[in-house]
Amino acid sequence: MNEKHWRNVFIFGTLFFLVILVAMTVDSLAQVNSTRTPQVTEQVANGKRVWQARNCNSCHTILGIGGYFAPELTKTMDRRGPAWMRDWLKDPKSVDPNATMPNQKLTDAEVEDLVAFFTWVSGIDTNDWPPAPLTASAGGSGQSTGALLFQQKGCAGCHMVNGQGAAGPGPDLSKIGSEPYDGLPNTPEFLAKWLDDPAAQKPDTTMPRLPLTPAERDALVEYMVGLK
């Protein structure tokens, strides 16, 4: 076989597989249901803006994206419905007195926009995505238990440490072990009380009460005391 023969084999082979690729693409597009994603209305877009402005994905996930401290919300409207969601968004503790989610003081318009956004998201055909989230294990990570808990409990969604995490609404904790914040003590004893019940130490705080075991609380205190 000469060079011309191999060139022809290459050209016709390339064209053959290109035709197959185009045919498969056309067939796939023909089978895609155009209703897999509901239509985006202006109210849905406004709800997405509220979601972003309130930094909701620091604690919650949608389509697997966000923080894993609070519940995944992709299909929340299927589970709860609009009436329950309105009550929850207006005042979580009116629905569940033990709720750790802070009252965001949303306007009625913001509540309706978020309900529209959650309804839209719930209508997306996700093919059972996202899967159950994975959690980090303290063993073999090279990080302290407190540092891992800081990530697992969603603390980085509101606080920053050494340039990592969110720049608010909580304070930067990079030097909390050496520099008290807002006139509050930074002793291990006070930090433990703070984690047990933030509102008992500072009534106007927006930090929620975290569901921590005593061991988890102590590990977080040890981690924060070491931030200097």
Same domain, 117 and 153: no
Tell me the average pLDDT across 169-197: 92
What is the number of domains present in the chain?
Answer: 2
Please check whether residues 113 and 159 belong to one and the same domain.
Answer: no
Q: 50: buried, middle or exposed (CB in 10 Å: 19+, 13-18, 0-12)? A: buried
CATH code of residue 209? 1.10.760.10
Whole-number Å distance between alpha carbons of 212 and 32: 45
* 92-144 pLDDT per residue, tens: 999 888 788 889 999 999 999 999 999 999 988 887 665 544 443 333 344 58
Sign of CA dihedral 162, 163, 164, 166: positive
Q: Nearest 5°: phi and psi at 172?
A: -70, 125
Is there a single domain that holds both residue 53 and residue 115?
yes
Residue 166 has pLDDT above 80, yes or no: no
Model confidence at 58: pLDDT above 60: yes
- Rounded CA separation 83/112 (Å): 10
* Per-residue confidence (pLDDT) for residue 1, from 0 to 100: 63
Residue 152 and residue 86 share a domain: no
pLDDT of residue 220: 94
Give the least confident one: 17-21, 127-131, 132-136, 181-185: 132-136
Taking 90 as the threshold, does the pLDDT of residue 89 lie above it? yes
Residue-wise pLDDT for 107-118, tens only, equals 999 999 999 999
Beta bridge partners of 164: 161
pTM of the model: 0.50
| Span 17-33, average pLDDT | 80
Whether 173 is in a domain gets the answer: yes
Q: Do 150 and 78 lie in a common domain? A: no
Instruction: For residue 2, tell me if it sits in a domain.
Output: no
118: containing domain: 42-122
Euclidean distance between CA atoms 188 and 222, whole angstroms? 7
Min mean pLDDT across 87-96, 121-130, 158-167, 201-210 is at 121-130
Q: Is residue 205 part of a domain?
A: yes
Beta-carbon neighbour count of residue 186 at 10 Å?
Answer: 18
State the average pLDDT for the chain.
85
214 is a domain residue = yes
Residue 227 has pLDDT above 90, yes or no: yes
